[in-house]
């Protein structure tokens, strides 16, 4: 049987880009003005003459602000809130009440110790003149000159929040890219503390929960993420989730160093330990060639066979699939099904390694060829149809292989595509070594032109490699 990699599903699941900047450039319509960085705020005029004490406070504030904009973390935020509070107290003592109030307000917004904030509020209430309490604001010093200071403009509280939210998005995007989904939760939830209705943050948190197989939580946040611009995208996710929820609620759960395993409870022939062993064996073998560990834990879903066939797979030719998670039928130990289970695992786990190593742009022929190379280690792939087509001189050329699913017009062309992809990749590994095929994965994963990628990796044109392959076939 043929096991198909559904690249379009990966794109759907990983809707966020590798970094928030890439996401902004690719989908600017999803960003509100609130989420674009503003680097022109919270700076000190070069004409300001500050006292030594004020200068030290301003310097400390600017250092912490710069740090938090570059890389948000909770401890820096706490320190910044305390320094804002300290500066607010200084300003009250210097009779600069409006500025003091603005710094006090933002310190409160950052969750500073409420007792300390209350102390300064009382001091401000006590010292500020009547006209200030009545919102008549004066920026004049006692001598009648206008005070020039590091003070918030009316929008600075908003601008500060906008910059922090942007920094949090960058951090969350970085964790998400690295598949550190648990770590990605923290900055994303922090964004929602600032902006509970932020659609993009709600969508990202939904994605995080989905990748962690926390489906009900994903449903909750995707529901909150719906907007006019995101409606179609969110609806696709919710539609997929609606099919998965009833199937996966009854699955048993076990975790291992590299895997989150969910499996049908009706199959008593495998223990959780058996499943761990199957996955560990495949991981160890494939990792030896890729030399790059998987990021995070891969979710492996083993459904009732009838549920997989009727509700998960998209074609009768699909034996299992990888769409960011491994999805496969949970077969009984009978009539060779144990080897079939192992073959499915090796094939789909290879797709996970390829995606982890080179992304989702690798051409289908190379992706499937490498996956079948490992599958073949478990059960030899039957190539009768390939050799029959070869003798008739009807093989696809490399350009035809590169068309991928576009040539899947019927069972025959699909079968030929998969078998020829395997034979060609098997030749590349035998002739050049797996490390060269790994380089090819990386180059083509960058959407490099096939000809330039072959020249770079093999120092031969794609046409010359293809010619040598055909010559190699003559000796088989």
3-state secondary structure the chain: CECCCCHHHHHHHCCCCCCHHHHHHHCHHHCCHHHCCCCCCCCCCCCCCCCHHHHHHHHHHHHHHHHHHHCCCHHHHHHHHHHHHHHHHHHHHCCCHHHHHHHHHHHHHCCCCHHHHHHHHHHHHHHCCHHHHCCCCCCECCCCCECCCCCCCCCHHHHHHHHHHHHHHHHHHHHHHCCCHHHHHHHHHHHHHHCCCCHHHHHHHHHHHHHCCCHHHHHHHHHHHCCCCCHHHHHHHHHHHHHHHHHHCCCEEEECCCEEEEECCCCCCCCHHHHHHHHHHHHHHHHHHHCCCCCCCEEEEEECHHHHHHHHCCCCCECCEECCCEEEECCCCCCCHHHHHHHHHHHHHHHHHHHHHHCCCCCHHHHHHHHHHHHHHHCCCCCHHHHHHHHCCCCCCHHHHCCHHHHCCCHHHHHHHHHHHHHHHHHHHHHHCHHHHHHHHHHHHCCCCHHHHHHHHHCCCHHHHHHHHHHHHHCC
pLDDT at 11 over 50: no
The more confident residue out of 334 and 58 is 58
Find the range with the poorest average confidence among 252-256, 365-369, 408-412: 408-412
Q: In angstroms, rounded to a whole number, what is the distance separating the alpha carbons of residues 169 and 184?
A: 9
Instruction: Kindly report whether the global pTM for this prediction surpasses the value 0.75.
Output: no
Q: What is the pLDDT of residue 69?
A: 67
Q: In angstroms, rounded to a whole number, what is the distance separating the alpha carbons of residues 476 and 464?
A: 19
Q: What is the pLDDT of residue 135?
A: 43
Count how many Cα atoms sit within 13 Å of the Cα of residue 223 in the half-sphere of its side chain. Answer: 8
Is residue 36 very low, low, confident or very high in pLDDT (cuts 50, 70, 90)? very low
Distances (CA, A) of 217 to 203, 212, 389: 11, 10, 50
pLDDT at 370 over 80: yes
List Cβ neighbours of 17 (8 Å cut-off, separation of 6 or more).
23, 26, 173
List Cβ neighbours of 405 (8 Å cut-off, separation of 6 or more).
364
Q: In angstroms, rounded to a whole number, what is the distance separating the alpha carbons of residues 401 and 395?
A: 10
Q: What is the pLDDT of residue 418?
A: 96
Distances (CA, A) of 272 to 254, 266, 286: 7, 13, 22
pLDDT at 29 over 50: no
Q: How many CB atoms lie within 10 A of CB 261?
A: 23
Q: How many CB atoms lie within 10 A of CB 49?
A: 9
Residues 235-251 pLDDT 10s? 999 999 998 999 888 89
Tell me the two tokens of residue 33: 């003005």
Q: What is the pLDDT of residue 110?
A: 75
Q: In angstroms, rounded to a whole number, what is the distance separating the alpha carbons of residues 355 and 359?
A: 4
Q: What is the pLDDT of residue 35?
A: 40
Task: Give backbone dihedrals phi and psi of 43, rounded to 5 degrees, phi first.
Answer: -115, 160
Find the range with the poorest average confidence among 8-22, 67-81, 106-120, 352-366: 8-22
Q: Where does residue 249 rank: exposed (0-12), middle (13-18), buried (19+ CB within 10 A)?
A: exposed
Residues 382-406 pLDDT 10s? 999 999 999 999 999 998 898 888 8
The more confident residue out of 113 and 301 is 301
Q: In angstroms, rounded to a whole number, what is the distance separating the alpha carbons of residues 143 and 125?
A: 23
Find the range with the poorest average confidence among 176-185, 215-224, 277-286: 176-185
Residues 324-337 pLDDT 10s? 999 999 988 776 67
Domains within the chain, CATH numbers bracketed: 31-36+160-248 (1.25.40.10), 52-141 (no CATH), 361-476 (no CATH)
Q: In angstroms, rounded to a whole number, what is the distance separating the alpha carbons of residues 445 and 421?
A: 17
Residue 329 sits at the vertex; the CA angle it makes with 326 and 331, to the nearest 5 degrees, is 130
pLDDT at 132 over 70: no
pLDDT at 155 over 60: no
Residues 296-307 pLDDT 10s? 899 999 999 999
Residues 42-53 pLDDT 10s? 333 333 456 788
Q: In angstroms, rounded to a whole number, what is the distance separating the alpha carbons of residues 440 and 458?
A: 9
Q: What is the pLDDT of residue 349?
A: 97
User: For the stretch 418-454, what's the b/e string if a residue is b when 16 or more beta carbons lie within 10 angstroms of its beta carbon?
Assistant: bbbbbbbbbbbbeebebeebbbbbbbbbeebebeebb
């Amino acid at each position: 049987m043929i096991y198909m990699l559904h690249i379009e599903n990966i794109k759907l699941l990983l809707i966020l880009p590798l970094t928030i900047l890439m996401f902004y450039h690719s989908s600017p319509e999803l960003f509100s003005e609130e989420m674009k960085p503003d680097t022109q705020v919270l700076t000190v005029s070069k004409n300001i003459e500050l006292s030594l004490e004020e200068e030290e406070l301003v310097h400390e504030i600017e250092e912490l602000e710069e740090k938090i904009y570059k890389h948000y973390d909770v401890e820096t935020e706490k320190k910044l809130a305390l320094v804002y509070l300290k500066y607010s107290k200084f300003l009250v003592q210097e009779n600069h009440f409006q500025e003091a109030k603005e710094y006090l307000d933002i310190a409160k917004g950052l969750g500073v110790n409420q007792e300390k904030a209350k102390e300064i509020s009382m001091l401000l209430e006590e010292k500020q003149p009547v006209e200030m309490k009545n919102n008549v604001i004066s920026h004049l010093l006692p001598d009648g000159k206008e005070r020039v200071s590091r003070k918030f403009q009316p929008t600075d509280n908003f601008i500060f929040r906008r910059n922090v939210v942007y920094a949090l998005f960058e951090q969350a995007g970085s964790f998400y890219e690295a598949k550190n989904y648990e770590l990605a939760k923290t900055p994303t939830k922090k964004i929602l503390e600032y902006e509970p209705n932020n659609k993009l943050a709600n969508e990202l948190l939904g994605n995080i929960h989905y990748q962690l197989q926390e489906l009900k939580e994903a449903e909750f946040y995707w529901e909150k993420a719906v907007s006019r611009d995101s409606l179609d995208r969110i609806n696709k996710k919710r539609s997929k989730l609606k099919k998965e929820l009833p199937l996966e609620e009854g699955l048993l759960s076990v975790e291992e160093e590299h895997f989150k395993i969910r499996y049908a409870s009706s199959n008593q022939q495998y223990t959780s330990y058996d499943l761990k062993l199957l996955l560990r064996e495949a991981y160890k073998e494939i990792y030896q060639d890729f030399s790059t560990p998987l990021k995070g834990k891969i979710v492996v879903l083993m459904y009732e066979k009838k549920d997989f066939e009727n509700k998960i797979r998209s074609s009768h030719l699909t034996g299992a699939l990888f769409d960011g998670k491994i999805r496969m039928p949970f077969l009984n130990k009978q009539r060779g099904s144990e080897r079939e289970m192992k073959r499915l695992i090796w094939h789909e786990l290879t797709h996970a390694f390829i995606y982890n190593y080179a992304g989702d742009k690798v051409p289908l022929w190379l992706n499937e060829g490498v996956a079948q190379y490992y599958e073949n280690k478990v059960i030899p792939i039957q190539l009768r149809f390939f050799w029959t087509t070869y003798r008739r001189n009807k093989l696809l050329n490399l350009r035809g292989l590169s068309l991928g699913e576009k040539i899947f017009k019927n069972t025959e062309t699909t079968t030929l595509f998969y078998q020829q992809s395997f034979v060609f990749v098997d030749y590349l590994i035998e002739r050049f070594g797996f490390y060269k095929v790994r380089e090819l994965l990386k180059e083509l994963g960058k959407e490099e032109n096939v000809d330039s990628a072959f020249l770079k990796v093999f120092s031969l044109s794609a046409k010359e490699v293809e010619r040598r392959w055909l010559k190699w076939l003559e000796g088989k």
